[in-house]
Structures are given as C-alpha cells and as structure tokens.
Amino acid sequence: AVRGPFAAVDLGASSGRVMLGLLQDGRVTLEEVHRFANRPVPVLGTLHWDVLGLYRGVLDGLRAAGGAAETATAGLASVGIDSWGVDFALLDADGALLGNPVHYRDARTQGMPAEVEKVLPAAELYAHTGIQRMPINTLYQLTAARSSRQFRAARHLLLVPDLISYWLTGQRGTELTIASTTQLIDPRTRDWSAPVADALGLDLSLFPPLRSPGDPAGELLPGVLAETDLAGRVPVTAVGAHDTASAVVGVPAQGGGFAYIATGTWSLAGVELASPVLTEESRAANFTNELGVDGTVRYLRNIMGLWLLQECLRAWEAEGEPQELAALLESAARVPGLRSVVDAGGAEFLEPGHMPRRIAEACRRSGQPVPRDPAETTRCVLDSLALAHREAVFDARRLSGQEIETVHIVGGGARNALLCQLTADACGLPVVAGPVEAAAYGNVLVQARTAGAVSGPLSALRGLVRSSVRLRQYAPTGDHSLWEQAAARLRGDPPPGGRQ
Ligand code: LFR
C-alpha cells in the first residue's frame, strides 16, 4: 500500500499552507512545506478574496512538496484540499472565473437572513437544513448576489476548495462537507434540499455533482505538473473539504464521550453525532448540523473565536502600539478573571475594524468594567471565549444527549495555554489540547485511507493522530460557579437577590 507522501492543502482565513504527510510505523509525520498569507482585498467597497494569489500559493506549495526528499523517491501519492466554509466563485459556461469571490465578512449579507425568512420562515428553513442562522452562510450571500449581472451570467458555482480542485484537475465537483455550509443541504438525506432551493428560486444545477470525502477527484493536469515540477500521475482525493470537517477527523479522541473545539479565527464547539438534531430547541440555541466525514454530523455552534484577539492586535499595531503575543498573554494571565465578558458569538463582532473599541463598548453597554489596556482587553476576550466554549459544550450535551468526559481543543488555539486552562475551568472538564494542525492530519488521513495506506473507521484514524503528536492536558481549576454567574450576567439574568 502507498504510505505517502500525501500533500494536504489547508486554506484558512488568514493563511494557507501545504503540508506533507507520511505514514510510518503507525505514525503520521507532518511537515509544513509552504505557508502563505491570505489577505482579503477591499475593492470599490466590496471585500474580496485574492483567490488567484491563493492558487499561486497552492502551486508553490505543491512544487515545494515535490522537492521534498520523500517525494523525490516515491512521487506524490495524492493531494487533498480543505478550506474555510461558505464562500464560492461563479464561473461562466466555459468554466472561466467571473469575478473574485466575495469575502464572507463583506457587509452585503446584512439583512439577508430576514429577507430569506420572508419567503421561508426560520423554523422551516432549520427543519430542512439544520444550519445555524449566520449572515455569512452561502444561502444569504446568494440572496445578496442573485440580482447582479455576474450571478445571472454564471453557469457554475464552486465552493473555494472545489474551485482549487477544479483548477488543478479540470474536473468540477462539490464536496459534501463544504456543501453543508451553504445551508442548502438536508442533513437527513445528505443531499441538496429541493424545497429550500425552490422556495428561494435558486437553481441547484449551478452546483456540480456532489462527492464524498474519500472519493477520487481527478488528477493534476499536465500544465499543473509542469508548473510544479511534479512527475507521473498525481491523483487529487476529495477529503473533508471544509477545514472544520478535516479538523474533527484530526481530533485525537479515544472513545465516544468527547466534545471538540476547533479553534482558530473561529471557534467551532460541539460534538460528533450519527444523525442531526433538528428540534426547535436546537434552532433556538443556534446550533448547526454540518456534515462530517464517514456519514457523521458535526453538531456545533460557531463562535467568533480568536478573530476577536487577531483584530485587537491589528488595531493596536495600526495605532502604533504593537503587542507581542506571548508577553500580552502573560500579562492577561495576571489580570483578575471574569471582570467583564462579552458575547463571543455576537454578530456585532463579525466585520473587521476597531475591535478594542467595540469590546469596550459592549462592556459599557452591559454595565461591566471597561478594559483599560491591552492586557485587560485580552483577558476579557479569552474569558469571553472560554465562557462561550462552556455554553456550547453544555448546550451540545443537553440538546443531543451525548455524554462528554473530555473536551478536545485543536487548531491554533491549542497553543494558547491561557485559553485552554480557562476553557477547562469554565467547563469543569479536563481539556486535551492539540494538535494545532488537526485539519492537515484529517486531510492526510482521509487521503491515506483512499490510497489503502490505512484502514478502519474514524476511531482508527484518531488513534493514529494520538500516537503521532504530543498533547497537553489541562485539569479544571478554580470556583466553577463564577462561570455560571458570568453566563447569567451575559444573558441579562437579574443577580440573585435582585438587581443592584
Ligand atoms: C473555520 C470555518 C468555520 C466557518 C468559517 C467561515 O475556518 O471554516 O467552520 O464557519 O470558517 O467559513
């Protein structure tokens, strides 16, 4: 069986990377061969992704993968692509790109959920799709875009990882896990929801046929081989093309009683289920049923995530007060906890700009102390995130009936010891942190299984991750009831004994 190397292309909202994965002696070794920035570009008032720039990064990454020693001897076994969700490109009948994809943080989706609900009430939409009401969802973006000339000229719609895959292979498909972020998939049938598309007058034939993680997705085109100095036939394999789907595969859990938090720009906190939860209660709790690898459902809540901190850092830098992250986290750890918390799921934090000011404003509005410096602001952000993690983990347990013994934190936030400890404290549960590159592990392992290098269910793949990485454990500390009080404060519950 082929043991690799496998190239995992993982595109995130702030950077992309190409990792090379190799299976050896029951372990996976991952090597980052190329990393490149992903900088959105505002053009005439619309925020875009520089998708050709990203593709350039992918090509450079594949060339670097080809240059690695393992590839020189064995050739590249396959390529898999995952990215952030919801965003898409429109192509004309010839397959040419009609414009740069618009960024989900662009303001065009403002008011779109309400627009959709005029024709399809929220409860009905949820019963069909089980997707959390977030303005960024493809459905709302399509509602905003549909009257444009570009949309009317479009004959194909490709989600970002499927677009990269198309450029590499010439073959168009729609991978299922990323398709589920559109809010146009029925999680029970794992197929497009005709009732939703019909109600909104959306033509589902814009989407190329669905394919599942593990399916073959073509081979690198001769022009791509030439550009990347790769030789031979290099298959592209559909993986969990949604980065969060790949990250959940890469959760090093043992047994079934776990929650996961995939942290990065976003925090995606929830559980893995065999079937969706489409109850009215679940809708009210704003839980989403995105699709996972191997027929699973990712039952989770989208939380604003480390975006809050990234945007603060950007603002401080722009104001001529750049902060060094490690030192900032150290000072934040010394700030007394839970003085002020904000709703880390709040749509008010979605768009870029002025984050410290917006956080201060949210604290002032809710009658809490306003953070006075970067350390206090950072503590407020991390306390708020930990609290949001707790609420999501507890709600996931309550709404799905799934037992939770351990919380796994994967992705960039697994590096942030303060966030991991606060999350353990807030949940009153042990936290296992790592790997940071969970999405790349998940991406590589699904390719490896298709190639026959590994076999078995997700639990077997997770076992391989466990034996490949060093994990950090955080035991819950502190007075757990303080978190309950903070949660009540955020909900606006009157304090015990009446309002002060
Ligand atoms: C994480 C992620 C989330 C999705 C957000 C926007 O990278 O994919 O799952 O909600 O980005 O697409």
Q: How far is the CA of 102 from the centre of ligand 1 (A)?
A: 15
- Ligand 1 atom showing the smallest separation from residue 87 Cα: 12
**Between residues 489 and 279, which one has the greater pLDDT?**
279
What is the ipTM, given to two decimal places?
0.97
Contact predicate 116/212, CB 8 Å? no
Model pLDDT, residue 10: 98
Residue 85 Cβ < 6 Å to ligand 1 = yes
- What's the CA gap between 295 and 445, in Å, rounded? 16
- What's the CA gap between 445 and 214, in Å, rounded? 10
The residue assigned the tokens 């992250």 is 325
- Read off the pTM: 0.97
- Ligand 1 atom showing the smallest separation from residue 243 Cα: 8
Q: Residue 1 pLDDT more than 90? A: no
Residue nearest atom 8 in ligand 1 by C-alpha distance: 84
Instruction: Kindly name the residue from 82, 106, 243, 395 that is annotated as catalytic.
Output: 243
Q: How far is the CA of 2 from the centre of ligand 1 (A)?
A: 31
pLDDT digits (tens, 9 = 90+) for 183-209: 999 999 999 999 999 999 999 999 999
Q: What percent of the chain has pLDDT over 90?
A: 93
Model pLDDT, residue 27: 95
The residue assigned the tokens 């498909």 is 173
Model pLDDT, residue 500: 40
Tokens of 383: 């306390």
Residue 263 Cβ < 6 Å to ligand 1 = no
The residue assigned the tokens 């949940």 is 427
Residue 405: CB atoms within 10 A of its CB come to 13
- What's the CA gap between 399 and 487, in Å, rounded? 18
**What average pLDDT is seen over the chain?**
96
Model pLDDT, residue 2: 65
Q: Mean pLDDT over residues 240-248, rounded? A: 98
Q: Residue 260 pLDDT more than 90? A: yes
| Phi, psi (deg, nearest 5) at residue 468 | -105, -15
Residue nearest atom 7 in ligand 1 by C-alpha distance: 84
**Between residues 499 and 403, which one has the greater pLDDT?**
403
Q: How far is the CA of 498 from the centre of ligand 1 (A)?
A: 40
Model pLDDT, residue 497: 58
Model pLDDT, residue 50: 98
Which amino acid, one-letter code, is at 35?
A: R
Contact predicate 265/306, CB 8 Å? yes
Residue 104 Cβ < 6 Å to ligand 1 = yes
* Residue whose CB lies within 8 A of the most ligand 1 atoms, among 133, 159, 180, 244, for a mutation test: 244
Buried b (16+ CB within 10 A) or exposed e, 126-164: bbbbbbbbbbbbbbbbbbbbeeeeebeebebbbbbbbbb
- What's the CA gap between 234 and 74, in Å, rounded? 11
pLDDT digits (tens, 9 = 90+) for 169-178: 999 999 999 9
Q: Please count the residues of the chain.
A: 500
pLDDT digits (tens, 9 = 90+) for 6-48: 999 999 999 999 999 999 989 999 999 999 999 999 999 999 9
* Residue 499 pLDDT grade (very low, low, confident, very high; cuts 50, 70, 90): very low
Residue 180 Cβ < 6 Å to ligand 1 = no
Model pLDDT, residue 346: 86
| Phi, psi (deg, nearest 5) at residue 78 | -175, 175
Q: How far is the CA of 38 from the centre of ligand 1 (A)?
A: 14
pLDDT digits (tens, 9 = 90+) for 353-395: 999 999 999 999 999 999 999 999 999 999 999 999 999 999 9
pLDDT digits (tens, 9 = 90+) for 118-128: 999 999 999 99
Residue 84 Cβ < 6 Å to ligand 1 = yes
Q: How far is the CA of 266 from the centre of ligand 1 (A)?
A: 6
Which of these, 19, 116, 338, 79, lies nearest to 218 by C-alpha position? Answer: 79
Q: Mean pLDDT over residues 331-348, rounded? A: 94
Residue nearest atom 6 in ligand 1 by C-alpha distance: 85
Has 82 been annotated as catalytic? no
Model pLDDT, residue 296: 98
Residue nearest atom 10 in ligand 1 by C-alpha distance: 85
* Residue 490 pLDDT grade (very low, low, confident, very high; cuts 50, 70, 90): confident
Q: How far is the CA of 381 from the centre of ligand 1 (A)?
A: 19
- What's the CA gap between 220 and 416, in Å, rounded? 38
Residue 174 Cβ < 6 Å to ligand 1 = no
Q: Mean pLDDT over residues 47-51, rounded? A: 98
* Residue 72 pLDDT grade (very low, low, confident, very high; cuts 50, 70, 90): confident
Model pLDDT, residue 492: 82
Q: Residue 69 pLDDT more than 90? A: no
- Integer-rounded Cα Rg, in Å, for the chain is 22
